[in-house]
Amino acid sequence: MADLRTSFLRHLCQTSPQPLGLVVARAQGTSIWDADGREYLDLLAGMGVANVGHAHPEVVRAITAQAQAYLHVAVYGEMVQQPQVELARRIAQLAPGDLSVVYFTNSGAEAVEGALKTARKLTGRSRLVAFDGAFHGDTFGALSVGGNPVYRQPFEPLLADVDFLPFDEEPALERIDPSVAAVIVEPVQGEGGVRIPRDAFLPALRRRCTEVGALLIVDEVITGFGRTGRLFACEHWGVVPDIMVLAKALGGGMPLGAFVGPAAIMQTLSHDPPLAHVTTFGGHPVSCAAGLAALEVLLRERLAERAARVGAEWLGALQSLRGPVLRAVRGAGLLLALELATPEATRRFAAHCFARGLVLNWTLHHDTVIRLAPPLTIASDEIDRATEIIGDALRNE
């Protein structure tokens, strides 16, 4: 194990000065086991990926069967591949409004890139609007609409003609005008600290985009597939976007992203020029087979409804822990946030929880906000155990 850790630090690019360093032996359901056999309760679900739990048996069977049939055979859109078609058809049946055409990608950031390109090509406009605190990925286009300048500035110049508005401030929406190709928004900001907008905000944004002819892109990468208590978070407010971006839980643990829109919007990628947007591995058949299996589990077991019920109960239990260290608790379904008093207290809290067997961390854009996003299958006794450890960690502060 010492050699494996040494090679990890030497040969894998490190993106933080102090990685957790947990040597993963296996993961199942809501748990991860390290090489020494110690069990950890995963309250991040691989950053919102494992909504149906790690290595769900039905997902594993679908992966195995598809791998035995065929792997990669051609670029997207040239050959009829059953896993792609079936998953796209299922998404079209479930998506709000007339979002019926799916473009599969490898990740959420790639899906954001495709959505932005589609909006610019369709409208002939260049201006993009995003929101302070937003996170949409780390490729150049996705980073250009990211709402934290700390992460944008080292890589500038990025895309030109991008404006940022304050999130959840309806009067600011007047700044969206007919020069805007698209507005991109998370229905609940994840890395921004699990910020949930007031009820009027997203419907007002939808109306404003319609008024000026701008496309509304809703980023459901973290919030999609039951995380907030509805299949898609935009459904809480009855908002139908022009393009919806999906990833993370979409693949059931395999890499998969997508952007989804009406046929009238998506067909712009097929002409002037044809092949206006292509991908080699997007919609890989094994990932699509896994995604379809995970989606059927999610629907059959009514995990979105369960997330709403269990999340509300857990929210109440966590709110009872509020005090000098824990300043606020908020959440939607099983996307919860604990806001602590200081960054230092947050780091100590996270370290204490990890030492007691909980995998959690603070959000990218708020070093005082701990995000909880466990598998939607998390059991009541696991929630009780997590709450007890969280309470102990707060009392130790």
Q: Can you give the CATH number for the domain in which 183 is found?
A: 3.40.640.10
Known catalytic residue: 135? yes
Residue finishing a domain among 300, 330, 357: 300
Token pair 């947050």 is found at 346
* Interhelix angle 285-300/82-94, nearest 10 degrees: 40
% pLDDT > 70, the chain: 100
Q: Are residues 116 and 139 in the same domain?
A: yes
Q: Are residues 124 and 255 in the same domain?
A: yes
**39-42 vs 31-34, strand pairing mode:** antiparallel
273, 261 Cβ separation under 8 angstroms: no
Gap between the Cα atoms of 215 and 220, Å rounded: 16
Average pLDDT, the chain: 96
Give the predicted TM-score (pTM) of the model: 0.96
Q: Are residues 306 and 320 in the same domain?
A: yes
Q: Are residues 140 and 247 in the same domain?
A: yes
Other beta carbons less than 10 A from residue 28's beta carbon: 13
User: By C-alpha distance, which of 124, 105, 88, 82 is closest to 272?
Assistant: 124
Active-site residue, from 135, 164, 201, 225:
135
Q: Are residues 313 and 219 in the same domain?
A: no
Q: Which helix (H) or strand (E) holds 288?
A: helix 285-300
Known catalytic residue: 219? yes
Residue finishing a domain among 300, 321, 351: 300
Q: Are residues 354 and 225 in the same domain?
A: no
- DSSP secondary structure letters along 144-177: HT-S-HHHHGGG-S--SSEEEE-TT-GGGGGG--
Average pLDDT over residues 313-337: 97
User: What's the confidence (pLDDT) of residue 30?
Assistant: 98
Residue finishing a domain among 266, 300, 334: 300
Average pLDDT over residues 70-84: 89
Q: Are residues 255 and 200 in the same domain?
A: yes
Please count the structural domains in the chain: 2
pLDDT at 1 over 90: no
User: What's the confidence (pLDDT) of residue 228?
Assistant: 98
Contacts of 243 (CB under 8 A, 6+ apart): 99, 115, 118, 119, 182, 215, 216, 217, 218, 259, 260, 261, 265
Q: Are residues 242 and 321 in the same domain?
A: no
Q: Are residues 213 and 258 in the same domain?
A: yes
Active-site residue, from 167, 219, 232, 242:
219
Domain membership of residue 333 as a residue range? 2-55+302-395
User: What's the confidence (pLDDT) of residue 160?
Assistant: 93
User: What's the confidence (pLDDT) of residue 242?
Assistant: 98
Confidence of residue 290 (pLDDT cuts 50, 70, 90): very high
Amino acid at 325: V
User: What's the confidence (pLDDT) of residue 388?
Assistant: 98
pLDDT at 248 over 90: yes
Q: Are residues 327 and 181 in the same domain?
A: no
Amino acid at 64: T
Active-site residue, from 132, 232, 248, 259:
248
User: What's the confidence (pLDDT) of residue 64?
Assistant: 98
Q: Are residues 212 and 159 in the same domain?
A: yes
User: By C-alpha distance, which of 245, 268, 249, 237 is closest to 373?
Assistant: 249
User: What's the confidence (pLDDT) of residue 123?
Assistant: 98
Q: Are residues 163 and 20 in the same domain?
A: no
51, 376 Cβ separation under 8 angstroms: yes
Q: Can you give the CATH number for the domain in which 364 is found?
A: 3.90.1150.10
Report CA 340 to chain centroid distance, whole Å.
Answer: 23
